[in-house]
Structure 1
Amino acid sequence: MKKYYLIVLISFLIFYLSIFLAPYFAYLGETSNFWKFISICLYAVYSLICHQMPQRSFFIFGHKMAVCARCFGIYTGVLVGMIIYPFIKKLDDFKIPNKWYLIIALIPMAVDGTTQLIGLRESFNELRFITGFIAGFTVVFYILPIFFEMIYKKFK
C-alpha cells in the first residue's frame, strides 16, 4: 500500500503546486508570450473544477490563483490530510470513520455557502478557505481507505 500511497500523494502534490504555477506563469507572461500561454492553459484546466471568480480568490504574484479561496482550502486540507494520514491510520486499514464526522465537517462549508447564496450575508475569502480546509482534510479519511481497498482487491 505504501507504493500506492506515495503515487497518490505525489500526484496530488503536482496538482496542488500547479495552483501556484498558474499565477506565477501569468506573472512571467507579462513579458513573455510563452509563459502567458502556459498560464492560460493552466487556468483553463482548473476552470473545469472551479469558477475562478477573482473576488473569491487569493492573489499571488499580482494574479489570482488557479482556484478560488474555498477550493484552495479544500485542496490544502486534502494535502495536509494525505500527509498526516499514515501517522494516524494504517494504510491497510480500510475501515472508514463514522459518517457523522464527515457530515459535521461539511456543515461549516454548507452554512457559509448557503447563507451567501440566499443573500443573508457575504462571505470572505479567509472563511471560505477555512471551511474548505475542514472539509478537504476530513474527506481524505473517507476516500483513501476506499481507494486503498479497491487497490488491495485488484492486486491481492
Structure 2
Amino acid sequence: MRAQRQPSSSAAPSEPRHARPPRRLAVLAALLKSLPVLLVWGIVLAALAAPLLRMQGDPTSREIYGLLGGICHQLPTRSLFLGDARLGLCARCMALYGGMALSVALGLLARARPLPGWLLVAGLIPCLLDGLSANHGLWKSDTALKLLSGAIAGSTIALFCHPRYCRMIDSLVFRLDRPTPRPLGDAP
C-alpha cells in the first residue's frame, strides 16, 4: 500500500485557481457588466420615446432629441418615423444601437466569447462602405440597406467589445478579493 504524501507545514496553502469571489464582489461585477447593456438599451428606448412624447406634446421630447443629437445626425431624410414624428436616431444608428442592445443582452446571458479582430473588421465593412459611398454620391442607400448594415455593425461591435469588458471586470473583481502583499522588509 502506498502512503500518501503530506504537504510540509512550511508550504503556504495554495488558492484554488478559479475561486469564487465573495457574494458582494460578485454582485458588484454583475452590476458593472450590466452597465453597457443598460446604456445601449437606454439609447434605444430614448430614441423610441422621443416621437411618442412629441406626438403627445410633451416638451421632454426636445431634450431627448437634443441628447441623441450628440450621437446621431438625425437627418429627417435618413430617419424612420413613428406616425409623423421622427425617431430620435436615424435608421442606421437605430439599427446599430438596436443590434448592440440585443447582442450585448444575449451575449451576457450566453456568456459569449469575444469575436476575433478580423470578424470585427468584416462586420464593420458593410456599414462603412454603405455610409461612405452614399456620402460621396456613388449610390443612394435605401432604408433596408441602412438597417441591415447598421445592425451587422452594432452586433459585431457588441460581440467584440462586451465579452472583453466582462473579462476585465472579472479580473478586477478577482484582484479585489486577494490580500494585498506586504512590501519587503515589513515585519508582521
1:8 corresponds in structure 2 to: 36
CA deviations on 1:9-39 (whole Å, 9 max, x unpaired) are: 234322221111111111111xxxxx1x201
Matched residue SS, 2:118? helix
Structure number with higher helix proportion: 1
Matched residue SS, 2:163? helix
- The CA deviation at 1:8 is 3.4
2:121 corresponds in structure 1 to: 103
1:70 corresponds in structure 2 to: 92
2:148 corresponds in structure 1 to: 130
Counterpart AA for 2:147: F
Counterparts of residues 47-62 of structure 1 (less than 5 Å): 47-62=69-84
- Detail structure 1 runs of 4+ shifted over 3 Å in the superposition: 1-8, 86-90
Identical pairs, percent: 27
Aligned partner (choices 98, 114, 134) of residue 116 of structure 1: 134
- The CA deviation at 1:144 is 0.8
1:89 maps to 2:111: yes
Structure 2: segments with no counterpart, 5+ residues: 1-28, 175-188
With normalisation by structure 1, the TM-score equals 0.84
Paired with 1:118 and 1:56, the residues of 2 have a C-alpha distance of 15
Paired with 2:153 and 2:106, the residues of 1 have a C-alpha distance of 15
Paired with 1:130 and 1:111, the residues of 2 have a C-alpha distance of 12
Indicate conservation of the 8 Å contact 2:74/2:88, yes or no. Answer: yes
Indicate conservation of the 8 Å contact 2:68/2:88, yes or no. Answer: yes
1:150 maps to 2:168: yes
1:20 corresponds in structure 2 to: 48
CA deviations on 1:88-118 (whole Å, 9 max, x unpaired) are: 435xx6xx32211111111111111122122
**Once superposed, what is the RMSD of the aligned Cα atoms?**
1.8
CA deviations on 1:66-95 (whole Å, 9 max, x unpaired) are: 0100000101110110122135435xx6xx
Indicate conservation of the 8 Å contact 2:96/2:155, yes or no. Answer: yes
1:39 corresponds in structure 2 to: 61
- Give the paired residue count: 146
Structure 1: segments with no counterpart, 5+ residues: 30-34
With normalisation by structure 2, the TM-score equals 0.71
